[in-house]
Amino acid sequence: MSVLKCLLFPQNKTGMFQNQKAQTVSKYAAHVRARVFPMKIFNFLKKNHKPRSAALELLKYIGPGLLVTVGFIDPGNWATNLAAGSQFGYALLWVVTLSSIMLIIFQHNVAHLGIVTGLCLSEATAKYLPRKLSGPILGSAMLASVSTSLAEILGGAIALEMLFDMPIRIGAVIIALSCVIMLFSKTYVKLERWIIMFVSVIGFSFLYELTLVHVEWPQVIKGCVTPAFPSGSMLVIMGVLGAVVMPHNLFLHSEVIQSRQWNLEDDKVIRKQLKYEFFDTLFSMTIGWAINSAMIILAAATFYRHGVVVDELQQAKSMLEPLLGHSAGVIFAIALLMAGMSSTITSGIAGASIFAGIYSEPYNPKDVHSKVGIALSFIPALLLIFIIKNPFQGLILSQMFLSVQLPITVFTQIYLTSSKKVMGKYVNSASTKWLLIGLAMIVTLLNVALLISVF
């Protein structure tokens, strides 16, 4: 036992070794340590030991993008995707691919605004633009939040009608109240977990649905990457594109990206957040692309194959059941419910962020301005649902107003992120600036064309 102690815990104090044998053991122990585990290597490993892997480090930054993703798979998207698949098969899958790429660029850019400045898009607008401009911009953004909430609450209510034959208006009240409770009682981290659960349910639901149908995968791959314009498809193409890039998502992403409470005074920390944010955005938007594509594939393999055109969500469930069985219809409705609830939550956060930003404050569910923002987003939406007789018309009206407001938000974002006064050395490069302007022009023209076609 004394030999083991000497090997592991050598001592240099005078009088510790009373005989030559002990001294020999000490010298041997030092020799073993020097040969087997040199001190330089020991100190290097101790100094540079990092038990967390890079993958685990990345997981800390996954979350804000997923909150934005649910706006990418909201009930408005469901309606346009089912129409695209049922009318034109796999031919319009490329529209989802193109719109997803555009969305990644816009969301990545607005997330940079939040990381670099510590301000959401609403706060930055109120701070850096004259009151004569910021007032109308944020006022119209608040109305856009109401329009978004209208579509999201309505989608959840339609799902409750599918599942329980519940009247639309009662279902709308239940969805809104449930989401208000979640918003007032959950922190960002808890909300992210709920959203991840909701998105997972939606994703697995469509994976299950796809196992029930025969999919022509070569045609799917071709449709994803090959632009095509079938006769009579322009309205649907514009609808799919217009339902992807949404004003409230831009305000939302710039707000929730700050939930990690990063140290904005350290340049190294900022650069690290900018790097990991891109992976979060890319990962989350890819999930949104996959789910939207799955909707079109399901509609193409089920409805287009049988010559059925779907233009209402209720019709989709009623048609799925005789074609694929009762379980398919139920799972479809559950996925729609999850999409409606999760997108209603994010719409509420966006509304609160916009309204609080008017007062130069961040989103805080305990603050009165954030609470008022949530109320201003949900209550008018509920009143409109009680007034509008046809739910499908409600979805169309909401998309119309979003088409009008989106260019205002997009060009405001580009101005702020291209301003050296706002972004400092992280300002948009010339190439990034003109890329954003080009995409903004495309989005604007498509939304104007959509608006004209509706009228």
Residue 396 has pLDDT above 80, yes or no: no
Q: Which of 108-117, 239-248, 378-387 has the lowest mean pLDDT?
A: 239-248
Give the pLDDT of residue 186: 64
* C-beta separation of 255 from 362 below 8 A: yes
3-class SS at 165?
A: coil
pLDDT, position 218:
95
Q: What is the mean pLDDT of the chain?
A: 81
Provide the 10 A C-beta neighbour count for residue 70: 28
Task: Quick: pLDDT tens for 142-163.
Answer: 999 998 899 899 889 999 999 9
Which long-range contacts does 177-186 make (Cβ < 8 Å, 24+ apart)? Answer: 178/341, 179/153, 179/341, 179/344, 179/345, 179/348, 179/378, 180/348, 180/374, 180/378, 182/345, 183/345, 183/348, 183/349, 183/352, 183/365, 183/374, 184/365, 184/371
Band (315; pLDDT cuts 50, 70, 90): confident
pTM of the model: 0.80
Neighbouring CB atoms inside 10 A of 48's CB total 7
Residue 369 predicted with pLDDT over 90: yes
| Residues carrying CATH 1.20.1740.10, the chain | 61-454
Comparing 120-124, 241-245, 376-380, 394-398, the range with the smallest average pLDDT is 394-398
What whole-number percentage of the chain has pLDDT above 90? 40
DSSP codes of every residue in 237-248: HHHHHHTTS-HH
For domain 61-454, give its CATH number from 3.40.50.150, 2.60.40.10, 1.20.1740.10, 1.10.3720.10. Answer: 1.20.1740.10
pLDDT tens profile 3-40: 444 444 444 444 443 444 445 545 544 454 445 445 55
Mean pLDDT of 235-253: 83
